[in-house]
Amino acid sequence: MTLEIKPFKIRDIEIDPPLILSPMAGVTDVSFRRLLKRCGGVGLSVSEFISVEGLTRSNPKSKRQMRFYPDERPFAVQIFGGQPERMRMAAELSLIHI
């Protein structure tokens, strides 16, 4: 018996293969994500957890964590923080970036 895993969609974006890379701080950097994508291992790549404080203050590390290449698409950015206004700002920055 074989298990058939079918692609799925998030809005109009097809995720195929139907696997999402978990965001892991210190692990899912751009090199790791690209390697997995090239091997056909994931359908959706996700950034490391990115601090909204660092991102909204133009911290170089936070900007580096958001870096991606077109061949990683579809790509998602995962942010964390405790202040709603900073979360909004970081989400807007993420949309501009990707």
Per-residue pLDDT of 13-33, as tens digits, reads 999 999 999 888 888 899 999
What would the DSSP string read from start to end of 20-75? Answer: BPPP-TTTS-HHHHHHHHHTT--SBEEEEEEEHHHHHTT-HHHHHHT---GGG-SE
Where in the sequence is the domain holding 54, given as residue range(s)? 45-98
27 vs 12, more confident: 12
Domain membership flag for residue 14: no
Res 90: pLDDT: 95
Residue 90 within a domain: yes
Q: Classify residue 67 as left (phi > 0), alpha (psi -120 to 50) or beta.
A: beta
Domains: count for the chain:
1
Domain-located, residue 78: yes
For residue 3, being part of any structural domain is answered with: no
Residue 8 included in any domain: no
